[in-house]
Amino acid sequence: MKVKHDRRAHVWALLAALLFIVVSWLVIEDKLSSFDSGVIGVVQGWESPSVTRIAETLSAIGSTIGVIVIVAVVGILLAAMLGHRKELVLFGFSVGGAALLNTVLKSTFQRERPTLHRLAEETGYSFPSGHSMAAFALYGVLAFLLWRHVKSRKGRLILIVSAVLLVISIGLSRIYLGVHYPSDVLAGYLASMVWLGLGIELFRGWLGSSSKS
């Protein structure tokens, strides 16, 4: 059972990598236009002043400055509450590495942002979504680290649901504001899942080697 558990992150990271390749190919071949247009139509159909304010707030939370502030606060809390330096290394590796990977991927694909019905202004390339990658990496690694210390089933359920809702909400906010295609957001989740899976595998290997020494 232990072997299967240790390989779980490896398996879903590999699956995410394959799906990212498929999505990237479909974007390059312009085969996701109908998907993007359909989702944008639904999401932007929610437009109202109150929803716009919520979307802008979520987008700010997922911005570079927002993520840096959250990472700094959470890092201090993790150090104070848990005192596990290795967990802090995984935390920094996941979030910082996802940001660097996003820069590389955007420079590689150089997809222009949507131009129709913008509710916010954004610069740089579109694919994959940096906000989506940052959100998945940040709240994904937090869920993984805190899961190890939350023993109750209810507590773990609340932890996972909260992380999923935050990640999805931030991705939807970028579509709503008109600065990303849905395929950008999907690709961001997949790319970050690959990176997070790699980090978790390395982390487990590190823990295993330390316990044997």
d(CA 174, CA 172): 5
Q: What is the pLDDT of residues 189-209, one digit of tens each?
A: 999 999 999 888 888 776 666
Residue boundaries of the structural domains of the chain: 49-212
Count of helices and strands (H, E) across the chain: 8, 0
The predicted-structure confidence for 162-174, as pLDDT tens digits, reads as follows 999 999 999 999 9
User: pTM value?
Assistant: 0.88
66-80, 90-104, 130-144: which has the minimum mean pLDDT? 66-80
Is 34 exposed, middle or buried (CB count within 10 Å of its CB: 0-12, 13-18, 19+)?
Answer: exposed
Banded model confidence at residue 68, pLDDT cuts 50, 70, 90: confident
Run of H or E including 155: helix 153-176
Q: CA of 60: how far to CAs of 57, 63, 123, 125, 209, in Å?
A: 5, 5, 15, 18, 40
